[in-house]
Structure 1
Amino acid sequence: METSGKTTKLAVNGGISFGSKLNARQLVVLAKYIKDDSEIELTTFQQLYIEVEESDLEVAKEEFEKVGLSIYPVGAYVKSLRTCGFCKGAEEEGMPVAIELNRRIAGREVPWPLRPAYTGCPNACGEPLVNDIGVIKKNEFYDLYVGGKATGENARTAIKLREGLSSEDLYVTVEKLLEIYKENGKKREAFWKFINRYGLENIENLLV
């Protein structure tokens, strides 16, 4: 491959599935674009950060997509949905809903990187209660949490914003919530800080 010296950082994962997994074909393709002295960063939100030569970027994206790797922008965007192991099966745990929610929100531009999480039952293995936006499936419905923070002295669990949502209501509510954050959040303002400053009541009013 030709090398231009300039690289672009991509966030990739194996798609929204049973936890965070990669198969052999995906690893082989990734290895083609990793230099001997390069490192891959594994993030806490189930993505790999990889540096790709700008001259190889479009070809690399095509190869990644062919083997089922999902590609996301790096920076102040909504991250791909963090998921749990889905121990009871795709349909029962709401895998199609998780995939559709990720399709709708991942990669959206926001004031500061936003981490959404989803879990298919109240065990909450996907850690929805300590992420910016969390979804817990209960029977055939979904509870929505906001403002969780996993680290630091001011770490906190998320606040329940909605409960008993249908899948369609979940999509609409989360998308509207992201619009409110993008339009009213300050640059580099984390989501939990935005909730503190702007006020949950004001957010509720705009959602209605």
Structure 2
Amino acid sequence: MLPKGANLQKIRDGKRTYAITPHLPGGFIKPEVMQKYVDVTKKYGGTMKLTSAQRIMITGLKAEDIEDIWQELGMQPALGYANCVRSVKICPGIAFCKRGKQDSIKLGLELDKRYIKKEMPSRIKLGVSGCPNSCSEAVIKDIGVIGTDDGWDVYVGGSAGSHPRLADKLIEGLNYDDTLRLVDIIMLYYQKHADIERIGQFIERIGFEKFKADVLAEFYGQVSAVTEPKVPQSEAGEKIVPVPGGLTEGTLVFGDPITADSVISDIIRVYPQTIPVFRSFGMGCLGCPSSTGEAVSKAAEIHGLDLPELLAALNKVVPANN
């Protein structure tokens, strides 16, 4: 079991080290809180790391120290669902930047307040940029918002990782309230219709035309005229036809046993009943970029798991093997 609020970072000579990453909305931190970080890091022999999500990670920690560290920081463990809204990256906007066109801090902090750690079909990252320079990398976020002279432009489906994708522009020129309302509609639509897939993969599967039509129809109070696209269905023994931007790089089909070479995302797409098994082994982030091309053997090695034990548990819930 993972220590509460920690992530496994490294296994070296059989010894495991962990990291904690307290939530810092927008990357803003008071001097007295920063001092706590410094004192605790020194005391427990850790290292501080500035992350790309505007947080401060303390890494190189021992499992038995994690609970005391949270207490000494005076913080609750940064808990959430494995697949959830991970971060809202915010640029300085008009508050601190001469090029800012919109108040990215106000909008970003409100989005953080509404959505951070909320459960989703897969991980979600948001970016809020106060001008088209897009210092918060909005176009490679699942939902990105960019300020212009005319208001907020909203983008969807961006991601980095092993399958990078630039986001599609959904709408432009929204005011503050309408932007929040549209983001809420996007989130609800994604939660209702997506598989264990990033928003970009979801869009590639159903088509951007349908995604845009459905979301904007809800936004404008209309009825979408775009019909559901035909998606290949998988039945016993039938080969799955890959779709653009799909989750898997593997070849697993229904009825196949799970082997050391089976790709993680392939397994959970074909056998979703394996999700609780993965989670019971501490492998909760099943929608991360690594899962799209990582075999079970590699994942077991990274997490320090016994491969035969993991494969046996996975195959136990596969219908063909029962």
CA distance in 1, matches of 2:171, 2:211: 12
What residue identity is the alignment partner of 1:102?
A: D
8 Å contact 1:132–1:191 — kept in the other structure?
yes
Residue 170 of structure 1 corresponds to 179
Q: Distance in 1 between matches of 2:181 and 2:142?
A: 17
Change (3 A) 1:74 1:37: farther
- Secondary structure of 2:37's counterpart equals helix
Structure 1 alignment gaps of length 5 or more = none
With normalisation by structure 2, the TM-score equals: 0.51
Deviation at 1:55, TM superposition (A): 6.8
2:198 maps to amino acid: A
Q: Amino acid of the residue matched to residue 210 of structure 2?
A: N
Question: Is the Cα contact below 8 Å between 1:72 and 1:80 reproduced in 2?
Answer: no
Q: What per-residue deviation string (whole Å, max 9, x for no partner) do you get for residues 112-146 of structure 1?
A: 11110010011111110111111001125100001
| 2:7 equivalent to 1:7 | no
Unaligned runs of 5+ in 2: 7-19, 218-322
User: Secondary structure of 1:123's partner?
Assistant: coil
1:185 aligns with 2:194: yes
State the identity as a percent. Answer: 25
Q: Does 1:135 align with 2:145?
A: yes
Listed one character per residue, the Cα deviations across residues 28-70 of structure 1 (whole Å, up to 9, x for unaligned) are 223455562445564422234457744775x567x348xxxx9
- Report 1:1-208 matches (<5 A): 6-9=3-6, 11-16=21-26, 20-31=27-38, 33-34=40-41, 36-39=44-47, 42-49=50-57, 53-54=66-67, 59=71, 63-64=74-75, 73=80, 75-86=82-93, 87-88=97-98, 92-139=102-149, 141-152=151-162, 154-187=163-196, 189-207=197-215, 208=217
Higher relative contact order (CA 8 A, sep 6+): 1
Q: Which whole-Å CA distance do the structure 2 matches of 1:71 and 1:178 have between them?
A: 22
**Structure 2 vs 1, CA of residues 60 and 15 (structure 1 numbering), >3 Å: closer, same or farther?**
farther
Counterpart code for 1:26: V
Which moves more between the two structures, 29-38 or 98-107? 29-38
| Larger gyration radius, structure 1 or structure 2 | 2
8 Å Cα contact 1:72/1:106 also seen in 2: no
CA distance in 2, matches of 1:94, 1:83: 6
Contact 2:151 2:173 in 1 (8 A): yes
Cα deviation, residue 73, structure 1: 2.9
**Aligned CA distance change for structure 1 residues 60 and 176 (closer, same or farther; 3 Å):** farther
Alignment correspondent of 2:12: none
CA RMSD of aligned residues (A): 3.2
Distance (Å, rounded) in 2 between the aligned partners of 1:184 and 1:14? 30
Name the aligned partner's letter for residue 45 of structure 1: A
> 2:242 — aligned with what?
none
1:198 Cα deviation from its structure 2 partner: 2.5
Question: 2:133, 2:50 → 1: CA distance?
Answer: 24
What amino acid is aligned across from residue 205 of structure 2 in structure 1?
A: R
Give the counterpart letter for 2:208 in structure 1: L
Q: What is the rounded CA distance, in whole Å, between the counterparts of 1:103 and 1:37 in structure 2?
A: 32
